Chains A and B, each alone.
Chain A
């Protein structure tokens, strides 16, 4: 595929300026061409063509721009630079490195400054993996660069025709220098460019069968997402959406993490920026930043760049997927992205759909989520992009268009609940409203990798929680003492599942990450109490005595202990002993 289009009239003039949307005449443009607007050459993109009038969204502030200033069409689509140097970077919505912008224009974002996505001066050590004479196809891996602790695989760009390697050399190169030539004349460097609005091609889309382990009990244990899957976290403000997203970015067992802060708070991005370099990847022991690409377009940065940020992010994610990596992409928040679309759309005076959102909202959302998936890459290896999108429903109302259109596409729904966060139940994910449609396809994995018992114990826990919800309705009316004895125990067991298993402290050094083994052991200990309690109750022990069993009060402490096994064994043994004593007394 060519990114260049036939050019004719490339320079025109501005006719009208109204905020981030401007009109130009006198250029021959195609949809989504990148144009340079005004004397300061602000970056913009063609979004509508109406007779003579070319309508452009501008990625920077347009104050002071006058009609009559020039407009230049570059004839290129909005594209990102893909190559070594992506990892550890922090970009704005159109892949300008924020650190470079600070050097160029100081602490505040000014306009009219362009900065390439990659460092073009830095040299990288390239190690070829194919020999001269080898035949390569689009997407084939020809060599590698040790970028951080991650190996950056250099590929034949998907839009370059395959052929035979004519020359390839090892050594130190910038991203622009040619490292390999093919017999058809194609020259391959460490960097390729890709238009952000076009999905990168793959060999085949596969079904997801492996969970993305996040170390968060309610997610891995009850509502897992598969590698290559899609999930949505809708929640009213203050329900812990961002903390959950950040926990996922920190602890998920993806090899690469792309984090898009789309229209969110500046201080939150700073938090990510200061924390990630210090946190260790539980697998590699290296700073988490080494596997992370951040895209930050905060709420007060230009709205059109916010619209583009999501595409910039997913294109980078797809690029790493093509190397055969598992990538997880967090978008916080897709509602701000949708609002950016709405704002641009209303400036275009398009006919609005529901709540002023453009009629193409649903189409854009599904196009975006469809770029997730577990795939067989062009090179023949397996890679995945998992997409986790936060949604910020106004007033916490899940019936609004962005939430509804998202739910129609995604397979996992983690329903954040303001009520839970008010009582400091974190993560504030409602266990009754959430769901995961991956349970079936992941069944075998849990069976093999965790325990053959896991799937049963999971359904048992869900059943107890469901039962509790029903019983709570009765308790609300008559008080808990009026319940039958067995059901008083159910209430207690459900409380234990909630307080011990579901609640997790993101700020505790140990509890912040909980592996599957520990999750299983904890749930099993609760199950043990439950089994013993019901048995004791049928043997005639009163619920008061059962609820007063001391050893179970020690269980919550297990969360905060790293080598929890001895302590847990002790509690379980005491529990057995206490119940034995109760039963023999009865």
Chain B
């Protein structure tokens, strides 16, 4: 392989090389330092005169004397069955002291878009055991549902609880977790690893760790390596894969860093204008392919800078993903776990996975009714602060009360409390029964007669 020593400029993570043979766009590049160490990079711009290489590691040690080798191929990930149970670096190298991965295949890490025509319809209900998800923001297989959180909130616990408890009721199919950490601290990583080891989840997991002190640019490839692995497990080996990506905010920061180094015209808040397309290239790698057994379900986690949901990172994410689970600082302060605020939370695929044949016929309407009642009660809290409880009408007082017990009994649950969907709906009906029946305008009479505790108990008493 030809080695060039024609570096003309090094700026941030970018290396500029001159007078090369024709080099392909997106090619993998090896940079050989004076001491023989090899750093990896990728071609970002190529022309007769100049090639721009983005280095995935720190550029420390690279100088005009460094050698550049163009490999002639795009970045590929070696994947194999024995990856399960392994811990890899953010660049895909084993860091658990074990042997190298024996590759069964080498796959392009960019991944190709699933042809919309070949996609299967996601409609298998996943029970996470968390009421605020199962009951009101239901997750289905093949969905991408991010957790929008803030600094200092327990999103990691929630993610772990989901990873631990998730199952499709009644199914015993092969299941795997791919975990990709981007720029999280060693402490946080340990927290995940210990939990994986304690619960035995590590055996069926592949872990990619790019820690806070690892090169930021490496974060660009970490989620792509993770998803390439996930695609192999799902579509080649037929497993149902849950992918956890944390923290996407660090990924976007890395993207901005590279954009700035390339002197690109910045978009909102300095993030590159193509961030939507770039993020879509990650999030859209979830789903089901018709005629294949496996599936990829994604749980990206991001921390909203300043808890601002309109910040470009949560904003663009929300436009690509199929809903979001919003973690609330207010509920967290009240000591409620999991502090999921259902009002801004949403699962777009919920309707495909609930109802008769999936969960229960009353699911949708119970959920809608609780949402409406909780929203109304929550609004009234603002009013009470001004006029006091006494100025409220009888009806308003009931809704105010409902908001409190909704948070106390439906939202609040234990870190290892695994509720079935029946439990969740029963709690829902019990809460709704505190309101007068005629206020339940979103539920039709038949369902009220069948499930409302007042009628079911009366029925039992008579029978």
Contacts and interface: CB of A to CB of B under 8 A. Distances in A.
Q: Do A and B bind each other?
A: yes
B24 A98 contact: no
Interface string B391-427: 1110010000000000000000000000000000000
Given A67-B47, A237-B318, A424 B368 contact: yes
Nearest to B231: A108
Contacts of B284: 265-266, 298-300
A9 interface: no
Interface residues of A, number: 79
Contacts of A425: 372
A98 B315 contact: no
A266 B310 contact: no
Most-contacted residue by chain A among B22, B108, B351, B382 (CB, 10 A):
B22
Interface string B288-320: 011110000000000000000111100110111
A575 B59 CA distance: 80
B143 interface: yes
Contacts of B356: none
Interface stretch (B155-163, B247-255, B274-282, B328-336): B274-282
Contact of A394 (B265, B315, B348): B315
A346 interface: yes
Interface stretch (A202-210, A315-323, A530-538, A553-561): A553-561
Contacts of B48: 15-16, 67-68
Contact of A62 (B26, B235, B285): B26
B113 A300 contact: yes
Contact of A18 (B25, B27, B267, B346): B25
Given A423-B375, A424-B375, A298 B24 contact: no
Contacts of B264: 346
A300 B27 contact: no
Given A270-B121, A300-B284, A356 B143 contact: no
A336 B387 contact: no
Contacts of B290: 107
Contact of A269 (B119, B265, B391): B119
Contacts of A263: 276-277, 280
A15 B47 contact: yes
A410 to B, nearest CB: 21
A352 interface: yes
B143 A238 contact: no
B322 interface: yes
Contacts of A102: 115, 117-118
Nearest to B142: A267
B232 to A, nearest CB: 13
Nearest to A241: B319
A172 interface: no
B112 interface: yes
Interface string A333-361: 00010010011001001001001100000
A499 B383 contact: no
Nearest to A238: B346
Contact of A477 (B23, B368, B386): B386
Given A63-B25, A68-B22, A480-B393, A560 B444 contact: yes
Given A355-B268, A394-B268, A394-B310, A346 B273 contact: yes
A101 interface: yes
Contact of B115 (A63, A101, A343, A392): A101
B214 interface: no
A562 B206 CA distance: 53
Interface residues of B, number: 86
B175 interface: no
A422 B323 contact: no
A526 interface: no
Interface in B1-47: 22-27, 44-47
Contacts of B445: 557
Nearest to B108: A63
B24 A66 contact: yes
A183 B352 CA distance: 58
Given A17-B46, A346-B273, A395 B115 contact: no
A109 B47 contact: no
B376 interface: yes
B273 A342 contact: yes
Contacts of B122: 267, 270
Nearest to B347: A238
B448 to A, nearest CB: 11
A339 B276 contact: yes
Nearest to B291: A107
Contacts of B111: 108
B104 interface: no
B129 interface: no
Interface string B418-457: 0000000000000000000010011011000000000000
Nearest to A396: B310
Contact of A63 (B47, B110, B121, B276): B110
Nearest to A418: B344
Interface in A23-79: 23, 61-69
Given A298-B284, A301-B113, A107 B26 contact: no
Contacts of A237: 315, 318-319
A267 B113 contact: no
B287 interface: yes
A424 B142 CA distance: 25
B113 A298 contact: yes
Nearest to A553: B438
A61 B26 CA distance: 10
A99 interface: yes
Nearest to A561: B444
Given A18-B44, A394-B312, A64 B27 contact: yes
B268 A238 contact: no
B391 A336 contact: no
Interface of B: 22-27, 44-48, 73-74, 108, 110-122, 142-143, 235, 264-268, 273-274, 276-277, 280-281, 284-285, 287, 289-292, 309-312, 315-316, 318-320, 322-324, 343-344, 346, 348-349, 351-352, 364, 368, 371-372, 375-376, 382-383, 386-387, 391-393, 396, 438, 441-442, 444-445
Those 7 A-B pairs whose CB atoms lie nearest each other, nearest first: A395-B310, A299-B280, A16-B47, A423-B375, A63-B26, A108-B112, A479-B391
Given A107-B290, A270-B122, A507-B364, 6 more contacts: A17-B24, A17-B45, A18-B46, A63-B24, A63-B108, A238-B323
14 contacts: A16-B47, A66-B24, A68-B48, A98-B115, A267-B287, A267-B322, A303-B274, A342-B273, A422-B343, A422-B375, A424-B371, A477-B386, A479-B383, A481-B391
